[in-house]
Structure 1
Amino acid sequence: MSSSSPAPSPPSPSPSRLVPQLLVALLQRRRFDSTLRPSPTFRGFSPHSIAAALAAIPRLLLPRSPRRLCPQRPFPATASSPANRRLAAALTLAFLSWSHDHAHPQQVPLSEAPLRAAALALARARALPALFRLLRSHTPLVSTAALTDVVRALGEEGLPRHALAAFHRMRQLRCAPDAQCYNTLIAALCQNGRFREARFLLDQMERPGARCAPDSYTYTVLISWYCRIGVGTGCRKAARRRIYEAGRLFRRMGEKGLEPDVVTYNCLINGLCKTYRVERAHEVFDEMLSKGCAPNRVTYNSFVRYYSVVNEVDKAVEWMREMVARGHGMASSSTYTPVIHSLCESGRVGEARRFLIEMAESGHLPREHTYKLVKDAIEDAGEEPLTGELCQSIEDGIKERCRQVMRIKPVMRPVRR
């Protein structure tokens, strides 16, 4: 008697075919099934749900790039691997095609929201040929806002040349750039150290008859990045040059009839203070007051940090008290910390102790390093120690803050064997 051979098992579907079904199962909030039988309560897809699924792909597969320590150096590699980027691009295109052709129970035409989410996901995945093919094939649906998001994403990924290419293709895609698109591209170029191209775009915007005239935000972006890179460079001559360019843009802004706001003043004052040009910073501060622009805590913190660094802590305290007296803001932990550190370095431990107590009583939690610095300085100097209740309150607050940070930004721990 011959034994009957077992029935052949049905071929398993390929992973590329299961990917759209998995996303649809997530959208329907039910268990994954390769046959994808329709749910009785499911009434079809909406453009919003398809766009939400496409936006989740780069968020799950492509971690954001780490922040650069020096903007003049080349952009670091992203935390995502090339395999993850290829998977994210393939998944985006597969799900977009599937949702357009096989949506159940009714076919959903492609709209602007899914196309915008797919373009942003491809930009995050650095799939540039697929990105531009997608935009060309759906030209009527491409909007200026979608291309602005693509330019911003390419700039954050460290691809300024491709951000420029996307900007220059706007006419081919029948879109007209607006001021926000220009500002986004200028910020992306400055973020990657391409100041020459950014200044060229500004010159184009300033030409008579230009389609988009620069606004206050355009100049503020350039001033902010000039000051930020000038502070970060190690060469004093290069730093002075950057700050000079920032001041030149600040003056040109006034010549164009644009009034700087408090953010513009803060960027310039912070850059001047950090490059030890405090006399010019005082002039800008006086001009700020004369024009009726009220300073805030960020403005005063720049002077407090400067005088704390140059060991003129009495002037730093004077600026802090003046801020509170004029009603321009309240002292925070970023205001108290440089003053306390400067007092400890100067050997004025008793005053540092009083400022730490004042900081804690005003509801601001000190950093762990600041707390330990004051506590060790008190023990070395033989001053009156902090009360046990205050120490317990500060230590509990530091532990709670660490727990909150760990929930938001978990770090890798070594595996215990």
Structure 2
Amino acid sequence: MSSYPSSPSPSCLVPQLLVALLQRRRFDATLRPSPAFRGFSPSSIAAALAAIPRLLLPRSPCRLCPQRPFPSPSSAPNRRLVAAFTLAFLSWSHSDANPCRPPLTEAPLRAAALSLVRAHAFPTLFHLLRVHGPLVSTAALTDVIRALGEEGLPRHALAAFHRARQFHCSPDAQCYNTLLAALCRNGHFKEARFLLDQMERPGSRCSPDSYTYTVLISWYCRIGVETGCRKAARRRIYEAGRLFRRMGEKGLEPDVVTYNCLINGLCKTYRVERAHDLFDEMLRKGCAPNRVTYNSFVRYYSVVNEVDKAVKWMREMVARGHGGATSSTYTPIIHSLCESGRISEARQFIIEMAESGHLPREHTYKLVKDAIEEAHEVALPAELCQSIDDGIKERFQQDVIGLYTKQRII
């Protein structure tokens, strides 16, 4: 970056770009910076391009929900603005109007492509990638496919993947895995299985690896658990189990993430015996379980009101050195104890939780306090209550500040 000694940092450029966007200033040859300006660096241009959709569009709803969102009519004009500003700024930053203009590199092109994805300007996106094909790397194409999946557009992700040859790209394992995740997160399991079958064929350009199967298993379990119908949920978990066995037949060893996904899905669909078998298999194969593994069993036994077994799993996790109990471990146990009327034990656990440095959620804390008052049990220590109250208040303030900051950025 020595060619751009006086180039502004991205943090300085983005506010300037925001002013230009608000003033609706045209990015053309008539828009010239001051004579002392030495030009933008590729990283500054990329940061500015990435800021355009962040400044003009709300956060994508599909990042929070795996279901495909319905487009908001009010967002259409903003999307057109994002596409127009992206192309205009990219063209202007590499034109004669920009003194000491840098050559177009992969970073600005990738940022522009991701901005066009957020704008849903797909003909423009594919045209841009095709025209600048030599600059499009496989990693850039993978990022585009990932962004399309997060936007809830699996069909367009498939289209980008199948146009890889036009962009002078050769998809690798990461690109395939990203496409599989994009299809699965939007419920397109049939297309994902078809893609997996293509990868498994002899002579395929890219054979599936452990991560490929883990992606499919995790999404089968995740979507299956979120399905309201128990029959549909069990079918998804069954398909995940088939993929798990198929993985072993291919000679691929599952890791702790693969086991955790399947164990969690089995526990949430009340197939705890099979989950126990997988846990024992982990230990036999030398794959050490972690806190996520144990928490699946803790939650299951807390839900089915076998809280003593939940406590046993938590103690066993600590004794074996597989992890420490956190708020996600204590919370289901405390709730189950309160529902069972074992208030004194719930009181002890919330004290243990707070003393180990884990702040309970406000709902959990209030539940225990109300239960203690109704049962006329010994109240929580005043010093402990003050510490928890202060911690909850501080966490709330941090959440509000974070939300306010994000709204100002958007």
- TM-score, with length taken from structure 2: 0.90
Name 2:175's counterpart in structure 1. Answer: 181
Greater Rg over alpha carbons, structure:
1
Contact 1:68 1:76 in 2 (8 A): no
CA separation in 2, counterparts of 1:75 and 1:402?
29
Distance 1:113 1:70, change over 3 A: closer
CA separation in 2, counterparts of 1:37 and 1:118?
22
Name 1:334's counterpart in structure 2. Answer: 328
Query: 2:370 matched to 1:376?
Result: yes
Alignment match of 1:55 (pick from 28, 47, 50) = 50
Which segment drifts farther, 227-236 or 79-88? 79-88
What secondary structure does 1:260 align onto?
coil
Deviation at 1:100, TM superposition (A): 1.6
Deviation at 1:70, TM superposition (A): 6.8
Alignment match of 2:110 (pick from 102, 106, 116) = 116
Distance 1:35 1:123, change over 3 A: closer
Segments of 5+ residues of structure 1 without an aligned counterpart are 1-21
After superposition, residues 1-400 of structure 1 pair within 5 angstroms as: 26=16, 36-40=32-36, 42-67=37-62, 71=66, 73-77=67-71, 81-400=75-394
CA separation in 2, counterparts of 1:404 and 1:329?
27
CA separation in 2, counterparts of 1:300 and 1:234?
25
Contact 1:78 1:157 in 2 (8 A): no
CA separation in 1, counterparts of 2:222 and 2:406?
30
CA separation in 1, counterparts of 2:93 and 2:42?
10
What secondary structure does 2:228 align onto?
coil
Larger relative contact order (CA 8 Å, sep ≥ 6): 2
Contact 2:62 2:152 in 1 (8 A): no
CA separation in 2, counterparts of 1:248 and 1:275?
16
CA separation in 1, counterparts of 2:329 and 2:358?
10
What secondary structure does 2:213 align onto?
helix
Distance 1:230 1:35, change over 3 A: closer
Query: 2:395 matched to 1:404?
Result: no
Deviation at 1:412, TM superposition (A): 11
Deviation at 1:392, TM superposition (A): 0.8
CA separation in 1, counterparts of 2:77 and 2:202?
48
What is the letter of the counterpart of residue 59 of structure 2? R
Contact 1:301 1:335 in 2 (8 A): yes
Deviation at 1:347, TM superposition (A): 0.2
CA separation in 2, counterparts of 1:79 and 1:147?
29
Deviation at 1:391, TM superposition (A): 0.8
What is the letter of the counterpart of residue 221 of structure 1? V
Segments of 5+ residues of structure 2 without an aligned counterpart are 1-11
Contact 1:54 1:114 in 2 (8 A): yes
CA separation in 1, counterparts of 2:347 and 2:45?
57
Contact 1:216 1:258 in 2 (8 A): yes
What is the letter of the counterpart of residue 350 of structure 1? S
Name 2:5's counterpart in structure 1. Answer: none
Contact 2:282 2:288 in 1 (8 A): yes
Deviation at 1:138, TM superposition (A): 1.2
- Residue correspondences, number: 389
Deviation at 1:180, TM superposition (A): 0.5
CA separation in 2, counterparts of 1:297 and 1:69?
24
Deviation at 1:318, TM superposition (A): 0.4
Deviation at 1:141, TM superposition (A): 1.3
Contact 2:106 2:136 in 1 (8 A): yes
Identity of aligned residues (%): 79
CA separation in 2, counterparts of 1:278 and 1:139?
51
Distance 1:24 1:203, change over 3 A: closer
**RMSD over equivalenced CA pairs, Å:** 2.4
CA separation in 1, counterparts of 2:146 and 2:285?
34
